[in-house]
Amino acid sequence: MPKAVKWIAKDPREAFAVQFDFTAGLDAVAIPQVIIETVSGIDENPGLILNGPPQAVGQMVRQRIRGGVDDCKYLLTATASDGTETYVLAAKLPVKK
């Protein structure tokens, strides 16, 4: 079973990559997917935080993120599959100046 993910607050001016670790469940990720939704605060376009498509890097799913609305909290959910097995990890991302 993949490990839980926990992140500290992100400043809306920052842009960087986050990773989801699927080493406990998959030998390699072939089909990565990341979705995002707002869980608190008001952001009508949370998808703008995702900066490009997710990438499979070995047993990791990597997603570049940017922006976000101050005082919002987002839920990023990564799905990884090797074509046979599929696992899901989720993490909350608070945005705070």
pLDDT digits (tens, 9 = 90+) for 20-29: 999 988 999 9
Is the CB of residue 2 less than 8 Å from the CB of residue 87?
yes
Q: Give the residue-averaged pLDDT of 42-62.
A: 96
Give the SS3 label for residue 37.
strand
Helices within the chain (DSSP H only): none
Q: Model's pTM, two decimal places?
A: 0.92
